[in-house]
Amino acid sequence: MSFSTIASEGPLRLIVVGAGGMGGAWARNIAASPDAELVGIADLYPEAAAKLAAATGIEGLETGAEAVELAQRTGAHAIVNATIPEAHHPVTIAALNAGLPVLGEKPVAATVAEGLALAAAAQHTGQLFMVSQNRRYHPALHQAKQRLAGLGAVGIVAVDFFKAPHFGGFRDEMASPLLLDMAIHQFDMARYLLDADPVSVTCEEYNPGWSWYRGDAAANAVFAMEGGARFTFNGSWCSPGHETSWNGSWRISAERGSVLWNGEDGSTADPDEPFESGEDLGQDIAGSLRQFVAALRRGEEPMGRVHANIMSLAMVEAATQSASLGRRVAIDDVLDRSYDAALAAERDPEVLAVLKSWPSVREALSSKRSDSE
């Protein structure tokens, strides 16, 4: 499925929607990019937009309360959606319907059902909607994947994630803070390493007695993946001492050897054999931005295109359901229930027609994947 490209001269003109912490990070990265130009900041709170605009140091930077209006006023080519997850669906839908491509913060939406609706809307409008999973853009992660290419079939991907952040605020009060707010990063990285989507999951959540979180801040999850591999996630957000990196500590076991990565430095392999270094995809948000611009300029399929990204959020929903139900959960069951919910909620007849045209959710999503690129 193709999407519209942008052939205009000069940098890609972008507005950032959402003037919070992530909005600030995106504004700084756009301002530093030779391929993009920040032309506006939108936020429901005008004072927040004005404050971030002033912080960029860009003289005369436009602000507004409504993303599409600001984009049209500034001549923006696309928007970066850095709003809270609950706003991802309405902000992205409005932009796509206005003919604006969208680079969105993870997760794709607040629910898988909303994500499916956004995928259908992107198909209908022919506009690119890419989700930024910024942890994929790490040179050492790419190196680890390249090392695996010479080790045969991969059977086990395991990550340990142990941190002890005192965030305060909503994370301390929410249910399942680790799974809902953090684990999608590791889940998505596992999909990238394996070039495979999840089939089922068994997950247990718990909360150590000393935890400062109201909800369960620790979890163990085992995912069965396409092709028979297993991905295990062992994590905690209340484990002080000997903490892992924010990416986690990884071990990937293959037919003829294993790869270790501490989530920060370069990976190691045993046996250590020559490998192709591959293309430099950039790092973190800057890497996401670079690939988004390349996609719109040259039509290159990016990682994180909405169809390819939804499975990462489905892993989160399936894991929380498994922990709640105390049993294995099939990913297709999550997809099917979400699809029914998307059909029931959709009010745009053309988007509804796209949803109804899908032979199955998994087939519709997997046919759009570009994880190996």
235 in any annotated domain: yes
pTM: 0.94
3-class state of residue 202 by DSSP: strand
224, containing H or E segment = strand 218-225
- Is the per-residue pLDDT at 370 higher than 70? no
Residue 318 located in a structural domain? no
Residues 59 and 123 in one domain: yes
Q: Does any domain span residue 111? A: yes
Given this model, what pLDDT does residue 1 score?
67
Same domain, yes or no: 145 and 202: yes
154/261 same-domain check: yes
Query: For position 18, which CATH number holds?
Result: 3.40.50.720
Determine, yes or no, domain membership for 30: yes
pLDDT tens, residue by residue, 204-248: 999 999 999 999 999 999 999 999 999 999 999 999 999 999 999
Does residue 368 carry a pLDDT above 90?
no
pLDDT band, very low/low/confident/very high, at 372 (cuts 50, 70, 90):
very low
Cα separation of 109 and 104, whole Å? 9
Q: Do both 56 and 110 map to the same domain?
A: yes
The last residue of one of the domains, among 270, 297, 314, is 270
Specify whether 236 is located in the same domain as 145: yes
My answer on whether 155 and 86 are in the same domain is no
pLDDT at 87: 97
117 and 146 together in one domain? no
pLDDT for 277 equals 75
Whether residue 146 sits in one domain with residue 131: no
Cβ neighbours of residue 333 closer than 8 Å, sequence gap 6 or more: none
- For 20, the domain range is 12-135+285-305+332-366
In a domain, 120, yes or no: yes
Residue 266, in any domain of the structure: yes
Same domain, 92 and 163: no
Q: Are 109 and 89 in contact (CB under 8 A)?
A: yes
Q: How many domains does the chain have?
A: 2
Is 314 contained in some domain? no
Residue 165's domain is classified under what CATH number? 3.30.360.10
pLDDT digit string (tens) for 94-136?
999 999 999 999 999 999 999 999 999 999 999 999 999 999 9
pLDDT digits (tens, 9 = 90+) for 141-152: 999 999 999 999
Residue 7 inside a domain? The answer is no
Query: By three-state DSSP, how is residue 215 classified?
Result: coil
261 and 159 in a common domain: yes
**What is the per-residue pLDDT across 23-81, written as a single tens digit (0 to 9) for each?**
999 999 999 999 999 999 999 999 999 999 999 999 999 999 999 999 999 999 999 99
Judge if 291 and 254 occupy the same domain: no
- Residue 373 confidence (pLDDT): 38
| pLDDT for position 243 | 98
Residues 261 and 142 in one domain: yes
CB 194 within 8 A of CB 225: yes
Among 331-335, 339-343, 363-367, the range scoring the smallest mean pLDDT is 363-367
- DSSP for 309-356, please give it: HHHHHHHHHHHHHHHHHTS-EEHHHHHHHHHHHHHHH---HHHHHHHH
